[in-house]
Amino acid sequence: MKLLVCVKQVPDSTVRVKVAADKRTIVTEGITWAISPYDEYAIELALEHKDADPGTTVSVVTLGPARARDALRQALAMGCDDAMLVTGAGAETLGGLATARALAKVIEEARPDLVLCGKQASDDDQGLVGQALAETLGWPHVAIVTKFTSVTGGTEIWREVEGGHEVWKAAGPAVLTVQKSEKDPRYPSLPGIMKAKKKEIPEKDVSSLIPDLASPGLEIISLEPPPVRKAGRVMKDGDVKAMAAELAKLLRDEAKVV
């Protein structure tokens, strides 16, 4: 089976994101960049399939600025077979629909059986590119996926919904947008890191894939940190029952939430 995973490089989840002085961008200085968490889960699902069926190949593609090459290096070190960087002027700020159009070009050439990506990137948190990619390719998609397996005549795909999972069967190629699943993404092994260093990562210019980079654009009017919460009332060192009674009354009479 031929799998292709689309990933995005974003600020690492432990980074304290700061809004820049222009109030429209974030401070990128000193940021540690990483593969977006759900994309890491997508890589892990693909690699688990490869573990079970060594005939599987896992390709990884990203669209972004030159630094996104590090995300591909990481994916290769985790065990992906090959990687491609789509970059060039405009790549960093490309809209969701245009990103999907560019990635679709790469996918049409690579002809994978399944495309996986995270259900949303943890920078803009939009959750558009996977669905838009399927739409551009004219493929079905299944979102919020936690598992997939090959069966006779296609692929069975588990979609997390409230209260359980729906199981869907795709007869042909499909796009899967991946949710956090049971196994945490693996760490790269030392031999994996050594091997990844030697691999060549071909590059494509985004404007060679899609001449028109415009897509329904979003304008960021302003960014701000979430409202700062002040420390509230502290209750300690008291009789547990008395504290519980006081809190219950405060929640009713002061906070008015019960």
Query: Residue 76 corresponds to which tokens in the numbers above?
Result: 């290769």
Which range in 54-62, 77-85, 121-129, 201-209 contacts another protein by CB under 8 A?
Answer: 121-129
DSSP 199: S
127: phi then psi, degrees, rounded to nearest 5: 75, 50
Which range in 16-24, 81-89, 108-116, 196-204 contacts another protein by CB under 8 A?
Answer: 16-24
* The one-letter amino acid at 178: V
Q: Tell me which of 144, 176, 178, 213 binds another protein, using CB under 8 A.
A: 144
Please, is 29 exposed, middle or buried when counting C-beta atoms within 10 Å of its C-beta (0-12, 13-18, 19+)?
Answer: exposed
Is 169 a binding residue for another protein by CB under 8 A? The answer is yes
At residue 46, the 3 state secondary structure works out as helix
Contacts of 16 (CB under 8 A, 6+ apart): none
For residues 77 to 106, the per-residue mask of contacts with another protein, x marking binding by CB under 8 A and - elsewhere, is -------------------xx--x------
Smallest gap from Cβ 8 to another protein, in A, equals 13
Greatest distance between any 2 Cα atoms in the chain: 71
For residues 205 to 244, the per-residue mask of contacts with another protein, x marking binding by CB under 8 A and - elsewhere, is -----------xxxxxxxxxxxx-x-xxxxxxx--xx-xx
Smallest gap from Cβ 127 to another protein, in A, equals 5
Is 186 a binding residue for another protein by CB under 8 A? The answer is no
For residues 21 to 60, the per-residue mask of contacts with another protein, x marking binding by CB under 8 A and - elsewhere, is -----x----------xx----------------------
Contact between 6 and 58 (Cβ < 8 Å): no
Contact between 75 and 22 (Cβ < 8 Å): no
